[in-house]
Structure formats: C-alpha cells, structure tokens
Amino acid sequence: MNSTTMAQTGLVDRDICRRFDISGPRYTSYPTADRFQADPGAEFLVYALGHRPAPEQPVSLYVHLPFCSTVCYYCGCNKVITKDHSKSSRYIDYLEREIDMQLAAFNGTRRVAQLHWGGGTPTFLNDAEMARLMGALRTRFEFLPEGEYSIEIDPRSVNPARAHTLAELGFNRMSLGIQDFDPLVQKAVNRIQTFEQTRDVLLAARDAGFKSVSVDLIYGLPRQTLEGFRATLEKTLSLAPDRIALYSYAHLPQIFMPQRRIHDIELPKPEDKLSLMAMAIETLVDAGYVFIGMDHFARPDDELALAQKAGKLHRNFQGYSTHAELDLLAFGVSAIAKVGPVYAQNAKSLDEYYHDIDAGHLPVRRGFRMDADDELRRAVIQELMCHFGLNFAAVSQAWGIDFRTYFADALEQLQPLADAGLLEMNEVGIDVMPKGRLLVRIIAMAFDRHLQADRQKVPEGRQRYSRVI
C-alpha cells in the first residue's frame, strides 16, 4: 500500500475527474438502501434481534430526530419542517415505545459502544426533551465508559451553554453543519449562519471536554465562487476541527423537493465545480489534514487517520468509523438498523411510523437479508473504501474462494480504470493510486452485483445516485 505521504499527493487529476465523473452509490452500506425490499413485515427485524450472530458483542444505537425549524434548500435528508415544538414531545413518546418493542425481541448484552443522534436537527429538542430521551436510553442500555456518543447539531440552535449541557448528557462527539460562510450562498440555500455562531459553539464544545468535533462543508452550491469558498475554508481551518467532511452538492430536484427552490442558473458550471473541489482539497491537505477517503479529512493525530494507517478503519451509515462492525439498533422515522445479515428501515413518514406503533408492531417498511455473496462483496467494498486496496490471497483465505475466478467479471471491468492510472492490478491484488482515491466508489461499483444487474437493463444507471464529483 502507498504511504500516507504519497497518498496526499496527486489526489486531483482534472482529466481523470472529467472522464470518470459518473453517478454511483456512496456505499455507506452494501447492498445500498435503494435495494431494500418493500414491506418485509415487523417479524423481519424481530427475528434478527432474537438471533444475533454475536449476542455477546456490544451494540451501536442510532436515533433519528427529523424536526427542523427551517428548510435548507440543498438538504436531501428525511425531515419534518415545523416550529411546533409539541411535536417533538409526542415523537419521544413513540420512540420509547419503539425501543421497548425492539428490546422485547432482543437477545444478548445491552452494552452500548456507539450512539449517534441524527436528523433533521437533533438540537430542535429542548434541553428537557434531550435529557428525557437520553435518560430513556440509559435506563434500557449500559453505556460503556470508552464509547463514542455523537450528535449532529445546528450552531444556530446551540449556544455555548447548550454545548456544555450536551456534554453533561453524555455526548463526547459533535458534528456541526457549516456548508459555506459566504452570505450570498447562505441566502441562496436559506441557511443564514454566522462564523461567530459556529466559532462560539466549537470553542464551547472543546471547553466542555468533547473528544472530537467535526464540521461539514459543501462545494457546488448556488452562487459559490473560488474566492468565497476559499474564505470559508480559511475560517474553518482557523477553528482547527478534528475532522472535515467536504461534500459535493448533488442537485436532484426530481427527488428532493426543497432543491426545487435552487435556481439552476446559479449553480456552478461543471468545470467551476471541479475547480472548487480541487482548490478545497489542496487547501485542506496543505493545512495538514489527512485524506481519509471520498470526502472525509482528519487531523493526523485523529483516531480515523490512525486507524486507517493501522489498517483498522471501518465504514457504516454514519461514514468512516474506528469501531469494528457492531449490530446497529435504529429508532425513529426512516432509521435503518443492521442486525447480523439483516437491514431493516422504518417508515419514512410520521403518520406511518405512528400508525405502525399504535397497531402494536415495529414500523419496519423496507428491508434486506444478505446472502453469503452479499456479505463477501460487502467486505470487499469496505476494504476498498477504507484502505484503498485488496489482497487477493487474504480475501480468498477468509472466504474460501479463488478471488480471481470468483470476481473475473469485476476484474475485467476494472482494467480500463487500471489503464487510466486509477489503480494498479497484478497477481497479488489491487492498489488504488492517489488520483483514484477520489473516485474509489467507481472502483467499488465493479463489485456491486446488484448495480451490475441494474445496468444490464438501464445502462446509464439509476438517476437517484449522486455524481462522483
């Protein structure tokens, strides 16, 4: 494998980016969520909870809190826009009922190594509601002292005092949405957030003892310019966050209704968007951040960077992780659980979610049970996404296959990528080159059996996927 130093050079090859900027999955799971089957029934998850392959292992918890006070036009998350805070109290009532339903079927330890509150805007909840929800979790589960307990926050709804409250509740990791500090861009996407608001929250989080603070940026937003986004990057770097996510804006108004309020004419042209990305990556690398993969950067002493260097990085629905895979219990509207070989997704609307729980069963509306081939391909894709390489012998030994025979079709598909210099491929394995790392999900797509079958029918692929750049 290439050294970290070498991996930091030559990340952006403009010609390669132009040539291979196609649509594809992000592989926070495999199979991807769009492959889940409709209406598997509540028993689908009930059985998985009662037949965990490793019941002695701790679990991860995810809680989806969908409420937002205002809509950010770029957002593609499952959310409920409201200023009625009575809705969140009712929602917590149903969360508690869902948790108890899952635990009634649950087999094994209730120790928790990871917790993540996502949204929406988790900090839409007031302090009493957050305390109530965290208390409900703590009375039902044992939180390990060394665990990772994270929350997504909107700096507009969290002042320094609230940052300390979150720490007192037990959170030790925080993710802040920034996107862009340019007032013109903020107005175009309906998210007005000052640098001072963001700075004060981040500094308060450090003062409160948070172990890690990450921030999100987005390039490709309306009215973005190189000068303006460079200023955003400089302000962000002045805060020295532990991790930075640099996302490409995916304009899919046919899928996400709020994006219809963004005017196409105000979006950067493809070449300008490429320039924004290249400038941002160069700026972050020059500032000393390590490129973890796809769109994630971390300080060299961060656990993600250290785990990747040690070959112990993992990937899940929240992105890159230092924890080996654990069963994931998920609560709330649209939340996705993974228990053993089973994925199960809850109803996507509040009405459906409430209806199912009132009917006395879990609100599972979509799901997928992996077979042995899925699990093998999942392991291969994760290795590529996390460590930018594959050792054929290691995979063959672990899974009882002959890699080159089993994946002959995939290796054939990868040859043009090898010819273009994105990867090196020989008898030993695959090594993703620096300029291929930004495009690693294209390499992973060759091993995606479901996607390949799809493309036999629809060569251009599914329109719901974002483009790589």
Contacts of 101-105 with C-beta under 8 Å, sequence gap 24+, read: 101/357, 101/361, 101/362, 102/45, 102/49, 102/329, 102/331, 102/362, 103/140, 105/45, 105/46, 105/49, 105/50
What tokens were used for 434?
A: 């620096």
What tokens were used for 156?
A: 């507009």
Residues 6+ apart with CB under 8 A from 322: 148, 303, 304, 306, 307, 312, 313, 314
CA within 13 Å, CB half, 457? 5
Domain ranges of the chain: 1-25+371-458, 35-328
pLDDT (mean) for 130-149: 97
CA gap 136, 130 in Å, rounded: 10
| Closest by Cα among 218, 214, 248 to 21 | 248
Residue 357 has phi, psi (to 5 degrees) of -65, -40
Class of domain 35-328: alpha beta
Q: Which position has the higher pLDDT, 409 or 78?
A: 409
* 184 pLDDT more than 60: yes
Contact 366, 337 (CB under 8 A): no
Q: Nearest-5° angle of CA 460, CA 462, CA 468?
A: 80
Mode of pairing for the β-strands spanning 67-68 and 80-81: parallel
Structure confidence at residue 457 as a pLDDT band (50, 70, 90): low
What is the overall mean pLDDT for the chain? 93
Class of domain 1-25+371-458: mainly alpha
* 318 pLDDT more than 90: no
Predicted pLDDT of residue 85: 85
* 443 pLDDT more than 60: yes
Q: Which position has the higher pLDDT, 397 or 78?
A: 397
| Closest by Cα among 268, 284, 277 to 221 | 268
Predicted pLDDT of residue 456: 67
pLDDT in tens, 154-179: 999 999 999 999 999 999 999 999 99
Residue 79 has phi, psi (to 5 degrees) of -145, 165
Helix (H) or strand (E) holding 432: strand 429-432
Q: Which position has the higher pLDDT, 465 or 17?
A: 17
Helix and strand numbers, DSSP H then E, in the chain: 19, 20
Predicted pLDDT of residue 320: 86
